[in-house]
């Protein structure tokens, strides 16, 4: 996952305090995710995440996903039932591509291998942007891709940690060591507006209003725009890009499992990146 620097949002998420008030083992009112995606469906979606072939074996349990969503009550709870399910399917489709262990002839198909990795293998750099003074890199730390969304760069780790209550610059490795925090970083990125980019959440629930620049760049609402937000600089405006096709394939499989349609504009082949 790559993106332009994120502005800090003045949002304080008191997740730990919030969760402490929830009935143990019961989905509290206002946090309906478990009513839309049961543990059985979750395991059906991620058929091979706990295979020995996956480096992240055991790292992404259903309980961690549900616990993380409690910090983001608008996720999967906005709009009608179809919209809510489609957003969850879109989120899971994107994180599956980011963490895929699948291949063309993989057992159960290439789109049954999401959440296979928890951190980038053989990163090409430490993903430190020294020009970013707001979120300065800590000596010796790598800001490589970690977690379901493969959070990358110091300018993402810094504000994510600030919002979620951990030191993203000094201890970025926690994203690959704590599954709840890992899911929280992915949801934080999904829900956070990154001007001039909208949030992925707003796109999938129909709240995105294109600017004149968006219209000129053919940035139309749909799953393809979410891909543009996440990694448009490398993947969009390139007809036939295999990475985009992989993201779409995951989404199509998951939408079918949720019994919803995908909506229009699945790819970003004709979109300019932000």
**Sequence spans of domains, the chain:** 24-117+186-257
For residue 174, the number of C-alpha atoms closer than 13 Å in the C-beta half-sphere is: 17
Tell me phi and psi for residue 216, to 5 degrees: -65, -30
Q: How far apart are CA 71 and CA 99, in angstroms?
A: 22
What beta strand segments (E) does the chain contain?
none
DSSP 199-234: PHHHHHTT-----HHHHHTT--SSHHHHHHHHHHHH
Q: How far apart are CA 71 and CA 12, in angstroms?
A: 10
Question: Mapping DSSP to helix (H, G, I), strand (E, B) and coil, where does residue 151 land?
Answer: strand
pLDDT, one tens digit for every residue, the chain (274 residues): 654 444 333 333 446 444 333 333 333 344 479 999 999 999 999 999 999 999 999 999 999 999 999 999 999 999 999 999 999 999 999 999 999 999 999 999 999 999 999 999 999 999 999 999 999 999 999 999 999 999 999 999 999 999 999 999 999 999 999 999 999 999 999 999 999 999 999 999 999 999 999 999 999 999 999 999 999 999 999 999 999 999 999 999 999 999 999 999 999 999 999 9
Candidates 39, 87, 98, 193; catalytic one: 98
- Whether 119 is a known active-site residue: answer no
* Residue written as token pair 């999938």: 204
Q: How far apart are CA 14 and CA 12, in angstroms?
A: 6
Does domain 24-117+186-257 correspond to CATH entry 1.10.530.10? yes
């Amino acid at each position: 996952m790559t993106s332009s620097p994120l502005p800090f949002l003045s949002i304080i998420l008191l997740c730990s305090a919030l969760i402490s008030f929830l009935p143990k083992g019961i989905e509290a009112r206002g946090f309906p995710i478990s009513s839309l995606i049961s543990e059985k469906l979750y395991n059906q979606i991620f058929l091979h995440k706990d295979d020995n072939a996956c480096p992240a074996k055991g790292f992404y349990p259903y309980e961690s996903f549900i616990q993380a969503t409690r910090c983001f009550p608008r996720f999967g709870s906005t709009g009608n039932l179809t919209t809510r399910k489609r957003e969850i399917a879109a989120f899971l489709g994107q994180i599956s591509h980011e963490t895929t262990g699948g291949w063309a002839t993989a057992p159960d198909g290439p789109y049954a291998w999401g959440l296979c990795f928890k951190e980038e293998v053989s990163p090409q750099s430490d993903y430190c942007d020294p020009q970013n003074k707001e979120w300065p890199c800590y000596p010796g730390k790598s800001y490589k891709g970690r977690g379901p969304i493969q959070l990358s760069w110091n300018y993402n780790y810094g504000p994510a940690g600030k919002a979620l209550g951990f030191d993203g610059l000094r201890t970025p490795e926690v994203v690959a060591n704590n599954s709840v925090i890992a899911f929280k970083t992915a949801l934080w990125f999904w829900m956070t507006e990154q001007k001039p980019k909208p949030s992925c959440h707003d796109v999938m629930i129909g709240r995105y209003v294109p600017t004149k620049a968006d219209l000129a760049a053919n940035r139309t609402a749909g799953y393809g725009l979410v891909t543009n937000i996440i990694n448009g600089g490398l993947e969009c405006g390139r007809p036939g890009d295999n990475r985009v096709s992989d993201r779409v394939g995951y989404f199509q499989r998951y939408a079918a499992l949720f019994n919803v349609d995908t909506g229009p504009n699945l790819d970003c082949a004709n979109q300019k990146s932000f």
